[in-house]
């Protein structure tokens, strides 16, 4: 029996709990939402190691390497929700990205409204709302009463939406970050440097840079690139402006740089992207 068949013996979802075990470096062909209910671990994700404790949870995308080591002096328990996208809806049979999943009509979150990819990141369940759903899913999966598959599907959708709410709220509640977003949106073709924003807010550039990266997960320059490309996508979809005009409107004076940035983020050229969405 293959590892994948062992995980999904009956359906394309499984909820399990593990106690006091380490997880060697691995990756898999499904999504994983893992919630630490007791203890702590050193979690390594894409080469970065963090200490995670009770109340932390994380999302693992397809083909992402991760591992963890438990603290042997503290009892440890983790609940894993693993699933293939098609369990939620058959139209997702070819989905291999959490960003694609959250845009599905059952979830309806626009990934372009987020500054970070929710997958491959760690979060904290400040109000216990995620824990409550995960516990319900574990109970439902364990009892396997008639109709439990449909109930699990409903819980899974609720779990993802609850997590996305937390992410969106965390991105919009910090006044400094909101101010930076607004400043960039008002001057997308020629946004100010982070040093200029820091001077305007009376913060040190180092503090503002660190705070921005801590709260968004990416550096200011990377955010500017992403935001410019997002705006170019909006213009490609909703106007008949030429690609060179769009590049200029979002602040690119060099077309080669625009093409490289666009293709790096979207995988295709602006022309191909426009043709697909039209």
Q: How confident is the model at residue 202 (pLDDT cuts 50, 70, 90)?
A: confident
- Distance, in Å, from the CA atom of 128 to the CA atom of 123, rounded to the nearest integer, reads 12
Fold of 3-172: Jelly Rolls (2.60.120)
- Give Cβ neighbours of residue 128 (< 8 Å, ≥ 6 apart): 55
For residue 173, what pLDDT is reported? 45
Q: Identify the residue whose tokens are 């372009």.
A: 112
**Mean pLDDT score across all residues of the chain:** 89
Q: What is the pTM of this model?
A: 0.61
pLDDT digits (tens, 9 = 90+) for 89-139: 988 988 999 988 998 888 887 666 566 678 888 888 989 999 999 999 999
pLDDT digits (tens, 9 = 90+) for 260-273: 999 999 899 999 98
For residue 251, what pLDDT is reported? 95
Q: What is the CA radius of gyration of the chain?
A: 21
pLDDT at 6 over 70: no
Partner residues linked to 56 by β-bridges: 124
- The domain limits of the chain are 3-172, 175-277
Please answer whether residues 150 and 261 qualify as being in contact, where contact means their C-beta atoms are separated by less than 8 angstroms.
no
Question: What is the 8-class DSSP label of residue 191?
Answer: P
- Give Cβ neighbours of residue 156 (< 8 Å, ≥ 6 apart): 13, 81, 83, 87, 88, 137
- Distance, in Å, from the CA atom of 5 to the CA atom of 165, rounded to the nearest integer, reads 32
- Distance, in Å, from the CA atom of 248 to the CA atom of 264, rounded to the nearest integer, reads 18
Quick one: CATH architecture of 175-277? Orthogonal Bundle (1.10)
More confident residue, 1 or 179: 179
């Amino acid at each position: 029996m293959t590892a994948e068949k062992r995980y999904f013996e009956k359906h394309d979802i499984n909820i399990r709990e593990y106690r006091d075990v380490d997880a060697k470096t691995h990756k898999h062909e499904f999504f994983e939402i893992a919630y630490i209910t007791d203890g702590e671990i050193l979690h390594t994700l894409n080469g970065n190691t963090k200490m995670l404790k009770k109340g932390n949870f994380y999302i693992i995308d397809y083909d992402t390497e991760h591992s963890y080591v438990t603290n042997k002096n503290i009892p440890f328990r983790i609940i894993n929700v693993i699933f293939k996208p098609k369990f939620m809806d058959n139209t997702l049979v070819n989905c291999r990205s959490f960003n694609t999943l959250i845009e599905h009509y059952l979830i309806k979150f626009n990934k372009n409204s987020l500054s970070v990819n929710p997958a491959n990141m760690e979060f904290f369940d400040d109000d216990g709302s995620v824990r409550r759903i995960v516990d319900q899913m574990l109970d439902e999966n364990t009892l396997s009463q008639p109709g439990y598959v449909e109930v699990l599907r409903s819980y899974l959708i609720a779990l993802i939406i609850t997590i996305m709410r937390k992410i969106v709220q965390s991105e919009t509640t910090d006044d400094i970050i909101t101010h930076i977003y607004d400043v960039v949106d008002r001057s997308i073709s020629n946004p100010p440097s982070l040093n200029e924003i820091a001077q305007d807010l009376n913060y040190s550039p180092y503090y503002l840079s660190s705070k921005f990266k801590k709260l968004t997960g990416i550096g200011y320059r990377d955010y500017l690139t992403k935001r410019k490309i997002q705006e170019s996508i909006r213009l490609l979809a909703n106007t008949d402006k030429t690609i060179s005009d769009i590049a200029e409107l979002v602040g690119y004076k060099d077309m080669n740089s625009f093409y490289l940035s666009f293709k790096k983020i979207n995988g295709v050229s602006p022309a191909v992207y426009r043709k697909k969405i039209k």
